[in-house]
A and B are shown apart, each in its own frame.
Chain A
């Protein structure tokens, strides 16, 4: 048996090495986005996302920048939906009534669903509210936007969506 003094650094190093793995990481650029169809979203139909460019926006009724972003996303939807962009807004509201009131007031033309029980958001682990993910045709996160900064975010999104839509669909 090796001496305890010799074993201790090994044990400590192993413990420290395992620590980051014990904490689930945020979804990053390049990671596959979790399936929306199996996420248990309520409040509407989950649109088909296979081989499509998808903008997934996590919002909440209590988040001021989220309110600001919705009219801009509506314009984005009007401009890009005919070209194949899918926008899905996901509410992380704990109260279903607050989610319903928000959607009723802003009346978005794109699906605004409810992550009841916050299952999807716990999987994705958004770094701030709101956070939007631009998912490529391959189902992987290609761009990530933390917060909503008005014209600046809108400009960036349009540039990125143009680039993603220009990519060819999977031939399979």
Chain B
């Protein structure tokens, strides 16, 4: 009687652990910054391109070192509005 109970508990725990792991991916809400929490992200200081001179300088260094340019167009800061 004891062995099946232990086995049942183990399977249940395993199932719940699997469920918990999977549920982390089922709803983006759980991992996202909510729309009303984006004040800091929308701040000017969060924009990597806020200083054109510094951007041009680092682009030049990158080009000189890598003999390559461009391809740095990543999403910067913002509130994600609209």
Q: Give A contacts to B, CB under 8 Å.
A: 1, 4-5, 7-8, 11-12, 15-16, 19-20, 23, 58, 60-66, 92-95, 98, 118, 121-122, 125-131, 147-149
Contacts and interface: CB of A to CB of B under 8 A. Distances in A.
Interface string B1-44: 00010011001100110010001001101100011111100110
Interface residues of B, number: 25
Contact of B27 (A23, A66, A129): A23
Contacts of A19: 23, 26-27
Interface stretch (B49-57, B59-67, B74-82): B74-82
A1 B16 CA distance: 20
Interface of B: 4, 7-8, 11-12, 15-16, 19, 23, 26-27, 29-30, 34-39, 42-43, 79-82
A5 B8 CA distance: 8
Contact of A129 (B8, B15, B79): B79
Given A60-B79, A63-B79, A11 B12 contact: yes
Given A4-B7, A15-B16, A65-B81, 16 more contacts: A1-B8, A7-B8, A7-B12, A11-B15, A11-B16, A19-B23, A19-B27, A23-B30, A62-B39, A63-B79, A64-B79, A95-B39, A98-B39, A127-B35, A129-B35, A147-B81
A36 to B, nearest CB: 17
A65 B30 contact: no
B4 A1 contact: yes
8 contacts: A4-B12, A12-B15, A62-B79, A65-B81, A122-B36, A128-B82, A129-B79, A149-B82
Nearest to A24: B29
A66 B39 contact: no
A130 B35 CA distance: 9
